[in-house]
């Protein structure tokens, strides 16, 4: 009996070892890679392999069993959840790991400072589901002194979680204009807007550079909101979002050694400091503690 207990204790104290395959969001690629480096420093026996193909690539990879972890910059939709459940017989575990926002950007020297959400929709969509009275296709329609000409539109491609979330939040679920220039990465959107004073686009906070200016957005109460950390953390900024890590974890099972080690890092002060350093918004202490409790990270190891 004593020998069995000693073996159990020895096994529990063994450092986690293994390769973590991660498939999903390119918006979160920098975060995942930095967390992977820090994880390797804590646990040299763990190696993280990242395939950052976009948020849309995470659900099918999780459903097919080719990965057990999928970062996404938007929540899974119902169809994706059902596909996972059909494959595994249970739902994926959703973990909020950071906060972010989509910033509407213009050239740094552009005169525009703010937009109403109905105007954002009227600029980017062909459906105007948010209630705008007319399409906005030229700068002079916004009554900006000294600014006229056709508005150039820049955004992400459909594989990106940002593309889907902007469509949901800013276009009220409507359809993008056909002349939207779709880019495979946020850096390309920023570069296009930096190079043209006729351009407008949207990107995640961590891609903002001195070459572009984020616009204030008017919320439902008529307040102008900037994509600043505290407003994003509270959800006051209209295009705030959570960043997620989805896990294939059967009900009643504990996280495996490498997966637990990664989530312990992410949901720790060090992990959340990395979030802020990379231009995202760290979780509040309350939100971090809630996620840890839900995952049993503060429970004794089995």
pLDDT at 5: 32
* Residue 291 domain-assigned (yes or no): yes
Residues of the chain where predicted confidence (pLDDT) is lower than 70: 1-13, 300-302
As for how many domains the chain has, the answer is 2
What pLDDT score was predicted for residue 300?
A: 65
User: Same domain, yes or no, for 156 and 184?
Assistant: yes
Provide the sign of the torsion angle of the four alpha carbons 297, 14, 43, 255, taken in this order.
negative
C-alpha span between 179 and 150 (Å, rounded): 11
Is pTM beyond 0.75 here? yes
Predicted local distance difference test score (pLDDT) of residue 228: 93
φ, ψ (nearest 5 deg) of residue 229 = -50, -50
Query: Which of 29, 68, 36 minimizes the C-alpha distance to 256?
Result: 68
Residue 301 maps to a domain: no
pLDDT of res. 222: 87
Say which DSSP state 150 is in. Answer: B
Question: How distant, in Å, are the alpha carbons of 20, 152, 241, 247 from that of 40?
Answer: 11, 44, 29, 20
On whether residue 171 sits in a domain, the answer given is yes
Query: The CATH number of the domain where 140 resides is what?
Result: 3.40.190.10
* Neighbouring C-beta atoms of residue 139, cutoff 10 Å: 22
* Residue 11 lies inside a defined structural domain of this protein: no
Tell which residue, 246, 281, 186, has the closest CA to residue 59. Answer: 246
Q: Is residue 13 part of a domain?
A: no
DSSP state of 16: P
């Amino acid at each position: 009996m004593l020998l069995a207990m000693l073996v159990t204790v020895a096994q529990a104290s063994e450092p986690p070892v293994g390769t973590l395959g991660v498939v999903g969001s390119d918006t979160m690629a920098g975060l995942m890679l930095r967390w992977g480096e820090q994880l390797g420093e804590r646990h040299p026996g763990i190696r993280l392999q990242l395939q950052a193909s976009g948020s849309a690539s995470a659900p099918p990879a999780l459903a097919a069993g080719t990965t057990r972890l999928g970062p996404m910059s938007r929540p899974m939709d119902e169809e994706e959840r059902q596909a996972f459940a059909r494959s595994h017989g249970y739902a994926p575990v959703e973990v909020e790991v950071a906060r972010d926002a989509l910033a509407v950007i213009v050239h740094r020297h552009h005169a525009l400072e703010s937009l109403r959400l109905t105007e954002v929709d009227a600029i980017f969509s062909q459906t105007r589901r948010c209630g705008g009275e007319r399409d906005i296709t030229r700068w002079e329609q916004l009554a900006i002194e000294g600014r006229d000409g056709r508005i150039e539109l820049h955004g992400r491609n459909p594989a990106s979680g940002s593309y889907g979330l902007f469509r949901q939040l800013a276009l009220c679920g409507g359809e993008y204009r056909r002349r939207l220039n779709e880019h495979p990465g946020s850096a390309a959107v920023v570069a296009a807007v930096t190079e043209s004073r006729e351009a407008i686009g949207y990107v995640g906070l961590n891609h903002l550079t001195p070459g572009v200016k984020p616009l204030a957005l008017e919320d439902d109460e008529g307040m102008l909101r900037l994509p600043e950390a505290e407003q994003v953390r509270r959800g006051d900024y209209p295009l705030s979002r959570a960043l997620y890590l989805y896990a294939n974890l059967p009900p009643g099972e504990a996280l495996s050694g490498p997966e637990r080690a990664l989530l312990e890092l992410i949901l720790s002060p060090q992990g959340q400091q990395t979030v802020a350093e990379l231009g995202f918004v760290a979780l509040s202490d309350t939100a971090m503690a809630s996620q840890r409790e839900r995952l049993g990270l503060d429970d004794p190891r089995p």
